[in-house]
């Protein structure tokens, strides 16, 4: 049995919704665990529709899976770093992190099962080792846990906002501010539940941004996540009136460049090693297709 502990930082949210937003288990699995009596809130068993109060202590007990359902696949994998506790991966654009929504193979998890000798089991048979995700068409860094102790420690750093994640994105148009903070509430788009949006009923989402370079009709920006909501940077870029170039869900329909997804890259990842206690910092260069677009814009500027 694995255990995850949380302290609720918001009131008025259902337990299953809160846990879905704060760990990598699916909402259906979380609901099954809660309704099966495997979640304690302030020491008492709670169902999935329990409404939380800020400060509530949540303990989620997760039965250990005997086998991993996902199959190993010999897929290319850019392993930036690995040791006995974790691995840092530079995920390419177009690769889904784990199975779901009709995707059963070709995922990062399938590649991890082939290339790594072990993965944490906290997230069950579908998401072994996955501590946090990045979107299919977002490239860049994410950390993978090789054992449950490392998984818990890394998850807590993300929950406590001590894990530093910096992204680089090319935005449509000219962003007026050189830097700033976007502080909104993000939740499901009531008009399209497959998308996220800035809505009053959502959860607080905070993103810091800084302009790196300006072009004719485009702005290269750095984004630092202070929270980890689904599609946070993409939604906040749209909220600023300058969506990410190539974003099929939140961007402009007519992109001037031939792209397979948004120009959004998880460039920097920093955290404290779960057993060594050392600060770890990693950086991944922009993909070639991203650099090619920037070179086109720089040539036009010159």
Q: Is 135 a residue of the active site?
A: yes
Q: What SS3 class is residue 19?
A: helix
Instruction: Indicate which residue of 56, 135, 148, 247 is catalytic.
Output: 135
CA distance 98 to 126: 7
Which burial class, exposed, middle or buried, applies to 102 when counting CB atoms under 10 A from its CB (0-12, 13-18, 19+)? Answer: exposed
CA distance 138 to 133: 10
CA 17-20-26 angle, 5° bins: 125
CA distance 186 to 250: 14
CA 209-213-219 angle, 5° bins: 65
CA distance 243 to 88: 28
Residues that are catalytic: 135
């Amino acid at each position: 049995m694995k255990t995850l502990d949380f302290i609720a930082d918001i009131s008025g949210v259902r337990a299953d919704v809160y846990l879905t937003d704060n760990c990598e288990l699916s909402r259906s699995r979380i609901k099954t665990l809660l309704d099966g009596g495997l979640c304690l809130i302030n020491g008492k068993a709670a169902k999935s529709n329990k409404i939380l109060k800020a400060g509530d202590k949540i303990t989620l007990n997760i039965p250990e899976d005997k086998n991993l359902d996902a199959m190993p696949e010999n897929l290319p994998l850019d392993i930036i770093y690995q040791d006995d506790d974790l691995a840092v991966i530079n995920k390419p654009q177009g690769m889904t992190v784990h199975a779901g929504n009709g995707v059963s193979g070709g995922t990062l998890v399938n590649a991890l099962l082939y290339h790594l000798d072990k993965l944490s089991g906290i997230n069950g048979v579908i998401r072994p080792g996955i501590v946090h995700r990045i979107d299919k068409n977002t490239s860049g860094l994410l950390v993978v846990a090789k054992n449950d102790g490392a998984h818990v420690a890394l998850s807590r750093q993300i929950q406590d906002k001590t894990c530093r994640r910096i992204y680089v994105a090319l935005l449509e148009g000219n962003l007026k501010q050189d830097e700033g903070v976007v502080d909104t509430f993000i939740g499901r788009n009531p008009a399209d539940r497959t998308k996220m949006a800035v809505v009053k009923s959502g959860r607080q989402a905070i993103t810091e941004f800084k302009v790196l370079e300006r072009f004719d009709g485009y702005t290269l920006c750095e984004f630092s996540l202070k929270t980890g909501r689904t599609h946070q940077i993409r939604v906040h870029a749209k909220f600023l009136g300058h969506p990410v170039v190539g974003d099929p869900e939140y961007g402009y329909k007519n992109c001037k460049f031939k792209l397979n997804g948004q120009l959004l890259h998880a460039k920097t990842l920093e955290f404290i090693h779960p057993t060594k206690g050392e600060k770890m910092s990693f950086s991944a260069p922009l993909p070639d297709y991203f650099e090619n677009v920037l070179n086109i814009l720089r040539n036009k500027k010159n």
